[in-house]
Amino acid sequence: MKINDILKPTFWKVVSVIIVTMGLFSTYYRFSLGLGLTTNLHDSVPWGLWIGFDFIGVGLAAAGFTIAATVHIFHIHKYEPLVRPAILTAFLGYSVVVCLLVVDLGRPENFWHPLVMWNIHSVMFEITWCLICYTTVLILEFAPVVLEKFKIKAPIKYLKIISIPVVIAGVIFSTLHQSSFGSLYLIVPGKLHPLWYSSLLPVHFYISCIAAGLSMIIFESFLIARAFTKKDGFHHTELKMDILSGASFAVLIALIAGFLLKIYDFIDNGKLPLLTVPSTETYLFYLEILIGTLVPIFLLSYKKLIEDKKWMYLTSICVISGLVLNRLNVSITGLAASSGVNYFPSFDEISITMMLVVLAIFAFRLIAKNFAVFVSNESENSVNENGTAKSKQIILSERYE
């Protein structure tokens, strides 16, 4: 690609540059002025958009472990083409989350303290360590892709030897911290609205992240098929409907499991009468269940719809929106009544979040362009026999440009 091509303004380029510029200014202000002047957080609302977005980001990055487990542990090789995009998505998602966590810390210069100062009774401590360990796992899982490109073969051999234990560790770390994000709120039974508070919060979080993580990969596949075309030098980005239908079926199972658990939770804790109380919380809860669970279950139950691109795309958006609503309800709206204050994020909170999302998308495109992120089933198999197959592919794509 020539410099002129890069500088040629398109709508999305202009929007991205504006968002990143605003985000950089906001970042500068946040670190030079402190949290009070740049956010709408205060004593009654100590956690806001940034923490809420961390929950969303981690939840939507869950395909990194589910797909890796499906292919490498359960040996269902049909899903092989999804592994690399899922791991890359997870890695970038976690990078956004870690950046936001540091931005949100009152004393970011002390971010390393949890490494040496331990309190094993804290859920936050467990999450921090799981985040560190899982990000390491993601790097190890993606490293072969980078090493292949630069034809550094020696470390790949060692990575292959440890690959299965690494995948297993990744699944366990993910299971622990995905559920622990729910455990964070177990200590506030009096503050979090009972529609969301439950001793089963960690299980709810875990099941919903499986459904939404897979939906994110389905959603992403559609965007990639549309935006990363052969004309731009991408290969194997076309939609693979049989794989996506399979993933959609897994989403359906996870959604039904989550819904049944919710029903059990409501009956077991006598929370059913809450559903008839007219309040903002109740409406938000209905919205969350309707968009995130009932509509997708309904749509996915029809075999015709599951095979139709348009409906599958729509369903994945529904499931993702459901998770977004759920995490925001737990972290912000569900706590609003007890704090007595209505919180809405400030300009700086929004612009820093948007900047990180734009940068993550940009990084995804850049990495997808230069490394073999998208592979077909055949080329993946040929790589197992001949490690150079993939690097050849990239050279081809570069020549194309």
Partner 1 sequence: MLNETGILFDVTLCEGCGACYDMCKEVNNLPETNDDYLKDHLSDNTFTVVEEYGEIYTRKLCMHCNEPACVSVCLVGAIKKSSTGAVVYDADKCIGCRYCMQACPHSIPRYEWGTTKPRIRKCNLCDDRVKAGKLPGCVEACPTEAAIFGKMDELIEIAKNRLKSDPDKYYQHIYGLEEAGGGHVLIISPVPFEQLGYVSKLTSEPMPEFTMRAMEKIPSVAIGGGLFLSAMFWLTKRKNELAKEKKSTNGKENI
Number of residues that bind partner 1 (CB under 8 A): 57
Query: Quick check: 175 binds partner 1 (CB under 8 A)?
Result: yes
Angle at the Cα of 228 from the Cα atoms of 350 and 53, rounded to 5 degrees: 20
Q: Pick from 1, 13, 28, 34 the residue near partner 1 by CB under 8 A.
A: 34
Q: Are 226 and 313 in contact (CB under 8 A)?
A: no
Among 114, 194, 233, 387, contact with partner 1 (rule: CB under 8 A): 114
Report how far residue 325's alpha carbon sits from residue 261's, in angstroms, rounded to the nearest whole number: 18
Residue number with CB closer to partner 1 (106 or 155): 106
**Binding flag, residue 44, partner 1 (CB under 8 A):** yes
Contact (CB, 8 A) for 250 and 257? no
Residue from 14, 24, 188, 341 that binds partner 1 (CB under 8 A)?
Answer: 188
Work out which of 108, 260, 303, 398 binds partner 1, going by CB under 8 A: 108
The reply to whether 248 sits near partner 1 by the rule CB under 8 A is no
From 2, 4, 9, 75, residue interacting with partner 1 (rule: CB under 8 A) = 75
Quick one: which segment of 108-116, 227-235, 280-288, 360-368 binds partner 1 (CB under 8 A)?
Answer: 108-116
Among 187, 223, 341, 395, binds partner 1 (CB under 8 A): 187
Q: Could you tell me which stretch among 9-17, 109-117, 133-141, 245-253 binds partner 1 (CB under 8 A)?
A: 109-117
Does an H or E element contain 98, and which?
helix 80-104
126 or 265: CB nearest partner 1: 126
**By CB under 8 A, is residue 152 in contact with partner 1?**
no
Report whether 386 contacts 54 (CB < 8 A).
no
Q: Whole-number minimum distance, CB 27 to partner 1, in Å?
A: 13
**Phi and psi at residue 152, to the nearest 5°:** -95, 100
Options 25, 29, 125, 313; binder of partner 1; rule CB under 8 A = 125
Closest CA to 312 of 206, 203, 225, 208: 225
Cβ-Cβ contacts under 8 Å for 328 (sequence gap 6 or more): 52, 56
Asked if 128 touches partner 1 (CB under 8 A), the answer is yes
Sign, Cα dihedral of 384, 386, 388, 392: negative
Contact flag: residue 164 with partner 1 (CB under 8 A)? yes
Q: Which is nearer to partner 1, 215 or 331 (CB)?
A: 331
Q: What is the C-alpha end-to-end distance of the chain, expressed in Å?
A: 6
Closest CA to 313 of 227, 238, 242, 245: 245
Q: Which is nearer to partner 1, 179 or 329 (CB)?
A: 179
Site membership for partner 1, residue 137 (CB under 8 A): no
Angle between helices 347-370 and 80-104 (to 10 degrees): 150
Taking CB under 8 A as the criterion, the residue among 23, 26, 27, 41 binding partner 1 is 41
Cα–Cα distance for residue pair 156/148, rounded to 1 Å: 8
Residue among 92, 67, 89, 377 nearest 247 (CA): 67
List the one residue from 1, 15, 33, 267 that touches partner 1 (CB under 8 A): 33
Phi, psi of 203 (to 5 degrees): -70, -40
In 10 A of CB 229, how many CB atoms? 12
Q: Which residues bind partner 1 (CB under 8 A)?
A: 31-37, 41-44, 46-47, 69, 72-76, 104-108, 110-111, 113-114, 117-119, 121-126, 128, 164, 168, 171-172, 175-176, 179-180, 183-184, 186-191, 199, 202, 339
